């Protein structure tokens, strides 16, 4: 037993060692297994990002390739960071030392779709495959991949031209530009009128811009030749052969027009190119004329220039129906066709003929004729248009050849003899046939001869009655009389009646035929009628042509239509049913148009009820969708006339409903033969049998380019094919015998169901049939019941039934599975169930969840309401019972699973009715593993562009995270969360980058281990911005110091100039010193200083601080005033009175704190601090004092507070301090006034205040401090408003609050503390605490001795060089400038809990508002304050170090901590 334990331990140890070795080996071996290979779907003009993750790349090269044809090889796009392809839209996102290579394809097009390969040139090479799918913005069919191009043409010769992978036998040079020009194709679209331009993609215009002209372009391209035999031989489906016939189908928003023929474009154009050289063109000018009651005459012209290709002509004559010779009797078209069905006859005509007479036709019958040309090899032209013609009634015949028309009077000679000398006037007004085209200029030019012209034109007759009948105005009727004396501007209105004038003149000459007589119609149908007339009584023999004119009157008025070259009897066709028309006919001879016939108003017949029923699909698709449980918002998809735009807009919302759409659209019919005939690709053909398989590509959306062909088959099939059966069940089961019944859905015989076919199969134990449609045996029956004998007792059988008629079959609607045994049958009927779900697969996986998807049942009734069950259990549990989840969709996620565990799963389908749930047999069983759990790991963010992110531009941040389960990745910008996503890589485009976006972090957490954050600090590139004193006053012979601050990156070039044109720069010399330095902490902040010693009057001028870098330049003026007089007197006597300064010391307060006078009054020295407090005027001048060299132990005077070494500070620095008081008088704000607190509730209150009395408009920001009384720490918040809401206050606790104002130059002093207590909606406020001068002086005296000792120690140490102060200079300006007002760009405030130490360091260190804003790293923006308990920040107060005391001064009590 012990030996066994040792052996087992050794085995375990060896196994662990092996795992460790394998893991170590894997850590060294290159790997691409973490690459993201999920297919990426983008819309045109989007940017596509394909991510490849390489582990342990070493010195190997990583390449991106695009898959191409085998003979060409894959195309290399990039190698490491280098772009190989010439396509500038491609680039690589990668950081040195990183593992991620992102291929960026900007502005993708349809042609970018395909398979991209990430390949590492290791041995063997490693590859990951990334599919990019691109959808057209207008849902146009995608460009075919190389594998989908139809091949099979003969091998190309050396003269061949490859057409998109398809070879033609000869060069493609078909140029049909003359035809396009004749059809008025626009100039921009004539690039499509050369076949080679189309193939080379050199048309010069977007095809969508010319789509309206494509029908004419394609007609010219086919050139009247029939290319169909070649197209059929090339395997082009019928739906895509319109170009072969010279036709073009315009795709609309209707879903039935959505079909893809792009894969067949190459062979189609190849067939056209070949046919142009060998096929004859169609005959030209084809016409037909009825000669008599049994004969018609055809006439045509041979095609120009290509007649040599024509061997013969073929004429097709089709008899349509006989007509009634009785005008009041209408022939029933359907019965006529039953009595004498339509038939056709072909007639061959040799080349060279242009006329052919067909005899032996039926009397007064309707025929349709057409013709085409053929060559010796059987090649054909396209057929001419079909002409409908009617033979004459018995005994009638056509008109004889017309006689010569009468001659016109010689009006021209009359005009010339009457001295009409202008040639144009003779042509226009002396020929009645030209008068109709008279224009205004003609009338004006010929006015001098108006009397002569119109007198000749009238030919001695008065045509006024005719003109009056044609409703000419009375003034214009004078022209008809021939008596015109003077034409003036009044006659200009007659120009619109010149056509009628010409007609009346010709009619008056007696040269035009009269109206046709006996005008009538017969055989009026729903869409056509037969017109009859006899020749005119007058000059009828001169008629060469007739013109039929008609117009729809009701239900709405249409345009007047004309048909020339009409002969009686004439068929007027293409009419609307149940509509009223007006029609008449006009005779025409060689002179002009004669008098119109009488007008006939007639109404076409209405369509019969049975005709209307025939046009309505008997199948109700919408009803099926409702019964199947489809969501109401998705019902617009349940139509054969759905719009592509609706499909696009509902695609996301109705993603789970498309299987129901397919089932109901198919209607339970088998449309596979139709789909194969229409060229539906193999991968989409399962849809034709209502099998919706997203995993295999037979998906509604994936097959959208071919959905038009499929929908057309659906619509055709549901009108012709029999419906599926219903309620299929086994009603009796005996040993070896099963009786099956079902309900028929074609009770009224609409679909002429011929019989039912019952298929069945023996189901073996553990058998897995390859398809649910498999069967071993079949039996047919004409009734909905069948008895099937001779089955094996005790065996399971599977049955299904389809309906059949002459057009095809239905689909099976359910499956009955039966154990053929009396013992196994419980006496109740066994209802049919759907087939099981199929192709169960793991869609995605993680450590704690698995996502599964499956395809809907292949066999089910379209109206069935389906649900699904997924059964699962741990394999290791070895349980007999499975857990189960039920869902309405074909996908489910199992959560709460155990990491690194194996699960067994299968699914079933349920047919749900009101009372029952019928469950299918189980699907295949799937074994799936959950992933092992690994803590989240995140890389430092990758930022592009790498070298320069410019302010106002955009930057792309890539966060790469690892870990299982998939981590939640969050992007932080300056500590603020910007975006979160559960992913391994997250690409975020940050627009309108600002200069303060300098800290970028990626955070990852997956619930296992410790969350991880990785950060990168960047400096935003921006043009310089300058801050400089607008005005400086200096006394003569003093030292002038000017300093401007520059915010810029990259580092700017800085200089100071004397002139605004920046031509006279300041240079350092003996008197002038110019220095520049960078900020220690902020790599984008720079200072330029100029110091001028012994200032004279000439130094008083405006200087310009200038800075420029690659992004821009900026300047700031600095005015210097030089004066001989001392600084203005500052009289603070009133303040001194309020501070209880003794009367005999008040004169010191009257003259800028006169220190000389104070020396003469030693008794006033103890009160000097009170005077300095008044002189500070409520502002904090420490920043100015510090810059001027005032030591830290004297800085408190600069803010009006007492100092311990008052005599030392007064003697050495009072002049500098008072100078700062003068400077701050104009630009520093005073203390806020009237601070008050208002309750909100017991845990919150609002503090508000008024503007400072001093410089109120210079305030840029307020800072509020509050804390419980006696607390060592406090909270602070910044706001630009004069109010702030304090939250999370404790009821009954006494708080104190102070406020200070500030701007970029410095701050005010703190207000006096205001105490308040919150207690159930009420606040008890106390008066501000008054300064205890005696106490303050006592404290100063108490500390004075200690401070003296410290000064002595420091002095000794400095003498011995024991103290060395060093300043670290930055290596390069790589840290972004942090705007001190970044957190308050909107009215929101910035709240922060501040400890006592924080206040000592960050508030008291400087008068600069910027230094106070730097705060602690925990600053955060908030709409209102969120204080924390001070006890949590600091439990015990830390005494300041010696260095802090020396640098900052010794702090007092109470709110001096807040300074």
- On whether the CB atoms of residues 65 and 119 are closer than 8 A, the answer is yes
The residue assigned the tokens 């006597």 is 1133
Q: What is the mean pLDDT of residues 1096-1122?
A: 93
Q: Is the pLDDT of residue 783 over 90?
A: yes
Which has more pLDDT, 333 or 431? Answer: 431
Within a 13 Å sphere around the CA of 738, how many CA atoms are in the beta-carbon half?
31
pLDDT attached to residue 70:
53
Which has more pLDDT, 677 or 722? Answer: 722
Q: Is the pLDDT of residue 1227 over 50?
A: yes
The CA distance from 794 to 802, in Å, is 26
Peptide bond just before 945 cis, omega within 30 deg: yes
The tokens describing 240, both together, are: 């895509």
The CA distance from 950 to 993, in Å, is 7
The CA distance from 771 to 838, in Å, is 10
Q: What is the mean pLDDT of residues 876-904?
A: 90
Q: Is the pLDDT of residue 971 over 90?
A: yes
Q: What is the mean pLDDT of residues 1308-1321?
A: 80
Which has the closest alpha carbon to 1403: 1289, 1270, 1283, 1264?
1264
Residues 6+ apart with CB under 8 A from 1213: 1185, 1189, 1190, 1191, 1194, 1197
Count of C-beta atoms within a 10 Å radius of residue 1313? 21
Vertex 574 angle, CA 573 and 579, to 5°: 100
pLDDT attached to residue 1154:
63
The CA distance from 957 to 1002, in Å, is 9
Cα distances (Å, whole numbers) of residue 491 to 462, 464, 503, 1116: 19, 16, 19, 79
Q: Please tell me whether residue 990 adopts helix, strand or coil conformation.
A: strand
pLDDT attached to residue 329:
62
pLDDT attached to residue 274:
86
pLDDT attached to residue 1403:
29
The CA distance from 57 to 61, in Å, is 8
Q: How do residues 707-722 score in pLDDT, each as one tens digit?
A: 888 998 999 999 999 9
Per-residue pLDDT band at 427 (split at 50, 70, 90): confident
Give Dmax over CA atoms of the chain in angstroms: 152
Q: Is the pLDDT of residue 1242 over 90?
A: no
**Of 252-261, 490-499, 743-752, 1059-1068, which gets the smallest average pLDDT?**
252-261
pLDDT attached to residue 836:
92
pLDDT attached to residue 1454:
32
- Helical residues (DSSP H) of 889-958, grouped into ranges: none
DSSP collapsed to 3 states, 435-451: HHHCCHHHHHHCHHHHH
**Of 203-207, 1211-1215, 1454-1458, which gets the smallest average pLDDT?**
1454-1458
Q: Is the pLDDT of residue 1410 over 60?
A: no
pLDDT attached to residue 1228:
83
Element (H, E) at 276: helix 265-278
Residues in the chain: 1459
Q: How do residues 626-645 score in pLDDT, each as one tens digit?
A: 999 999 999 999 998 888 88
- On whether the CB atoms of residues 515 and 598 are closer than 8 A, the answer is yes
In angstroms, the first-to-last Cα distance of the chain is 79
Q: Is the pLDDT of residue 1399 over 60?
A: no
The CA distance from 738 to 728, in Å, is 13
Residues 6+ apart with CB under 8 A from 40: 48, 49, 50, 130, 131, 132, 133
**Of 301-315, 889-903, 1181-1195, 1250-1264, which gets the smallest average pLDDT?**
1181-1195
Q: Is the pLDDT of residue 860 over 90?
A: yes
The CA distance from 801 to 859, in Å, is 11
Q: Is the pLDDT of residue 611 over 60?
A: no
Per-residue pLDDT band at 1343 (split at 50, 70, 90): very low
- Helical residues (DSSP H) of 34-105, grouped into ranges: none
pLDDT attached to residue 1106:
96
The CA distance from 601 to 200, in Å, is 57
Q: Is the pLDDT of residue 1121 over 50?
A: yes
Q: Is the pLDDT of residue 981 over 90?
A: yes
pLDDT attached to residue 1356:
39
pTM tops 0.75: no
β-pair partners for 713: none
Q: Express as a percent the part of the chain with pLDDT over 70.
A: 82
Q: Please tell me whether residue 969 adopts helix, strand or coil conformation.
A: strand
Residue 1394 Rama label (left phi>0; alpha psi -120 to 50; beta): beta
The tokens describing 193, both together, are: 């009128």
Which has more pLDDT, 488 or 1088? Answer: 1088
Q: What is the mean pLDDT of residues 1267-1271?
A: 88
The CA distance from 491 to 497, in Å, is 11
The burial class, CB within 10 Å (0-12 / 13-18 / 19+), for 511 is: buried
pLDDT attached to residue 1260:
85
Q: Is the pLDDT of residue 1312 over 70?
A: yes
């Amino acid at each position: 037993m012990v030996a066994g334990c040792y052996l087992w331990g050794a085995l375990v140890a060896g196994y662990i060692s092996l795992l460790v070795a394998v893991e170590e080996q894997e850590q060294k071996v290159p790997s691409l297994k973490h690459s993201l290979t999920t297919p990426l779907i983008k819309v045109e003009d989007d940017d596509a990002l394909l991510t490849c993750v390489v582990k342990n790349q070493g010195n190997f090269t990583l390449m991106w390739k695009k898959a191409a044809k085998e003979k060409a090889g894959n195309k290399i796009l990039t190698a490491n960071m280098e772009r190989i392809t010439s396509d500038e839209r491609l680039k690589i996102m990668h950081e040195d030392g990183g593992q991620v290579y992102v291929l960026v394809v900007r502005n993708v097009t349809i042609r970018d779709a395909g398979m991209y390969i990430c390949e590492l040139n290791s041995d063997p090479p490693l590859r990951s495959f990334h599919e990019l799918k691109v959808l057209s913005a207008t849902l146009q069919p995608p460009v075919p991949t190389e594998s989908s191009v139809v091949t099979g043409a003969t091998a190309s010769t050396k003269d061949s031209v490859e057409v998109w992978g398809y070879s033609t036998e000869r060069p493609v040079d078909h140029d049909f530009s003359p035809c396009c020009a004749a059809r008025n194709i626009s100039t921009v679209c004539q690039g499509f009128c050369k076949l080679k331009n189309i193939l080379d993609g050199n048309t010069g215009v977007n095809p969508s811009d010319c789509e309206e002209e494509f029908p004419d372009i394609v007609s010219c391209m086919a050139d009247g030749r029939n290319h169909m035999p070649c197209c059929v031989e090339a395997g082009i489906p019928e739906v895509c052969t319109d170009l072969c016939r010279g036709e073009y189908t315009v795709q609309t928003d209707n879903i039935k027009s959505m079909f893809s023929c792009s894969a067949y474009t190459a062979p189609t154009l190849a067939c056209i190119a070949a046919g142009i050289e060998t096929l004859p063109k169609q005959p030209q000018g084809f016409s037909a004329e009825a000669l008599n009651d049994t004969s018609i005459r055809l006439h045509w012209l041979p095609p120009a220039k290509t007649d040599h290709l024509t061997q013969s002509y073929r004429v097709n004559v089709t008899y349509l129906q006989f007509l009634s010779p009785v005008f009041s009797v209408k022939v029933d078209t359907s019965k006529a066709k039953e009595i004498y069905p339509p038939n056709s006859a072909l007639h061959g005509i040799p080349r060279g003929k242009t006329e052919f007479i067909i005899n032996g036709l039926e009397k007064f019958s309707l025929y349709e004729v057409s013709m085409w040309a053929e060559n010796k090899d059987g090649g054909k032209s396209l057929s001419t248009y079909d002409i409908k013609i009617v033979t004459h009634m018995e005994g009638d015949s056509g008109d004889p050849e017309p006689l010569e028309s009468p001659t016109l009077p010689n009006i021209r000679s009359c005009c010339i003899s009457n001295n009409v000398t202008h040639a144009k006037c003779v042509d226009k007004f002396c020929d009645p046939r030209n008068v109709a085209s008279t224009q205004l200029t003609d009338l004006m030019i010929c006015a001098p001869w108006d009397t002569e012209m119109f007198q000749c034109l009238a030919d001695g007759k008065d045509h006024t009655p005719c003109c009056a009948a044609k409703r000419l105005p009375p003034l214009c009727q004078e022209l008809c009389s021939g008596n015109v004396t003077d034409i003036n501007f009044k006659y200009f209105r007659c120009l619109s009646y010149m056509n009628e004038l010409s007609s009346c003149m010709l009619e008056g000459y007696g040269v035009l035929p009269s109206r046709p007589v006996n005008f009538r119609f017969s055989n009026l149908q729903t869409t056509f009628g037969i017109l009859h007339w006899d020749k005119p009584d007058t000059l009828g023999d001169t008629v060469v042509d007739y013109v039929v004119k008609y117009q729809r009157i009701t239900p709405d008025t249409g345009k007047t239509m004309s048909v020339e070259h009409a002969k009686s009897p004439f068929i007027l066709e293409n009419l609307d049913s149940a509509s009223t028309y007006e029609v008449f006919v006009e005779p025409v001879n060689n002179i002009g148009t004669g008098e119109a016939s009488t007008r006939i108003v007639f109404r076409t017949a209405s369509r019969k009820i049975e005709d209307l029923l025939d046009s309505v699909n008997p199948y109700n698709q919408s009803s099926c969708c409702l019964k199947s449980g489809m969501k109401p918002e998705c019902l617009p998809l349940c139509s054969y006339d759905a719009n592509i735009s609706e499909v696009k807009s509902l695609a996301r919302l109705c993603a789970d409903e498309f299987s129901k759409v397919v089932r109901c659209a198919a209607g339970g019919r088998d449309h596979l033969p139709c789909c194969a005939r229409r060229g539906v690709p193999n991968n989409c053909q399962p849809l034709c049998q209502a099998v919706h398989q997203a995993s295999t590509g037979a998906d509604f959306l994936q097959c959208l380019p071919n959905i038009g062909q499929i929908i057309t088959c659906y619509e055709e099939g549901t009108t012709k094919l029999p419906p599926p059966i219903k309620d299929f069940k086994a009603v009796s089961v005996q040993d070896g015998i099963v009786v099956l019944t079902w309900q028929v859905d074609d009770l009224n015989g609409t679909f002429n169901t011929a019989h039912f076919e019952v298929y069945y199969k023996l189901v073996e134990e553990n058998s897995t049939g390859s398809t649910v449609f498999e069967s071993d045996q079949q039996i047919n029956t004409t009734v909905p019941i069948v008895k099937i004998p001779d089955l094996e007792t005790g065996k399971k059988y599977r049955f299904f039934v389809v309906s059949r008629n002459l057009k095809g079959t239905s689909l099976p609607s359910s499956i009955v599975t039966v154990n053929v045994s009396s013992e196994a049958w419980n006496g109740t009927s066994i209802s049919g169930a759907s087939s099981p779900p199929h192709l169960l697969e793991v869609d995605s996986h993680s450590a704690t969840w698995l996502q599964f998807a499956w395809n809907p049942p292949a066999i089910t009734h379209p109206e069935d309401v389906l649900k699904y069950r997924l059964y699962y259990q741990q394999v290791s549990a070895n349980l007999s019972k499975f857990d189960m989840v039920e869902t309405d969709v074909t996908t489910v996620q199992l959560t709460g699973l155990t990491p690194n565990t194996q699960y067994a799963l299968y699914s079933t389908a349920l047919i749900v009715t009101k009372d029952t749930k019928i469950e299918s047999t189980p699907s295949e069983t799937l074994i799936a593993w959950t992933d092992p759990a690994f803590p989240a790991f995140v890389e430092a963010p990758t930022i592009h562009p790498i070298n320069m992110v410019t302010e106002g531009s955009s930057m792309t941040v890539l966060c790469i995270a690892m870990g299982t389960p998939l981590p939640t990745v969050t992007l932080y910008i300056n500590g603020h969360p910007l975006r979160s996503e559960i992913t391994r890589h997250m690409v975020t485009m940050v627009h309108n980058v600002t200069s303060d976006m300098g800290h970028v972090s990626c955070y990852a957490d997956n619930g296992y281990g410790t969350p991880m954050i990785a950060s990168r600090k960047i400096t935003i590139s921006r043009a310089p911005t300058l801050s400089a004193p607008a005005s400086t006053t200096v006394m003569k012979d003093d030292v002038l110091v000017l300093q401007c601050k520059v915010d810029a990156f990259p580092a700017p070039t800085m200089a100071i100039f004397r002139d605004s044109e920046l031509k006279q720069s300041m240079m350092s010399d003996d008197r002038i010193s110019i220095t520049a330095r960078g900020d220690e902490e902020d790599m984008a902040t720079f200072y330029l200083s100029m110091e001028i010693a012994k200032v004279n009057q000439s130094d008083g001028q405006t200087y310009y601080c200038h800075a420029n870098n690659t992004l821009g330049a900026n300047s700031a003026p600095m005015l210097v005033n030089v004066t001989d007089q001392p600084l203005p007197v500052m009289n603070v006597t009133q303040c001194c009175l309020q501070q209880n300064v003794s009367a005999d010391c008040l004169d010191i307060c009257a003259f800028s704190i006169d220190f000389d006078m104070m020396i003469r009054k030693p008794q006033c020295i103890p009160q000097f601090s009170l005077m300095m407090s008044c002189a500070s005027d409520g502002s904090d001048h420490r920043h100015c004092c510090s810059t001027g060299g005032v030591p830290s132990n004297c800085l408190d005077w600069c803010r009006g507070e007492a100092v311990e070494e008052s005599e030392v500070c007064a003697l050495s620095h009072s002049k500098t301090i008072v100078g700062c008081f003068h400077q701050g008088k104009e630009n520093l704000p005073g203390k806020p006034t009237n601070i008050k607190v208002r309750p909100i509730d017991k845990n919150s209150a609002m503090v508000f205040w008024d503007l400072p009395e001093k410089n109120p408009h210079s305030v840029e920001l307020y800072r509020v401090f509050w804390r419980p009384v006696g607390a060592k720490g406090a909270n602070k918040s910044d706001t630009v408003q004069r109010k702030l809401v304090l939250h999370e206050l404790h009821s009954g606790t006494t708080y104190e609050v102070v406020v200070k104002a500030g701007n970029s130059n410095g701050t005010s002093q703190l207000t006096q503390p205001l105490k308040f207590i919150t207690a159930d909606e009420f606040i008890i406020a106390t008066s501000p605490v008054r300064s205890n001068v005696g106490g303050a002086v006592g404290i100063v005296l108490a500390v004075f001795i200690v401070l003296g000792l410290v000064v002595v120690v420091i002095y000794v140490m400095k003498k011995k060089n024991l103290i060395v102060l060093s300043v670290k200079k930055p290596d390069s300006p790589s840290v972004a400038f942090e705007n001190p007002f970044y957190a308050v760009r909107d009215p929101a405030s910035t709240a922060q809990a501040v400890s006592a130490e924080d206040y000592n360091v960050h508030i008291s260190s400087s008068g600069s508002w910027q230094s106070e804003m730097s705060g602690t790293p925990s600053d955060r923006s908030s709409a209102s304050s969120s204080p924390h308990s001070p006890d949590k920040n600091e439990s015990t107060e830390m005494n300041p170090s010696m260095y802090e005391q020396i640098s900052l001064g010794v702090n007092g009590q109470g709110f001096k901590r807040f300074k």
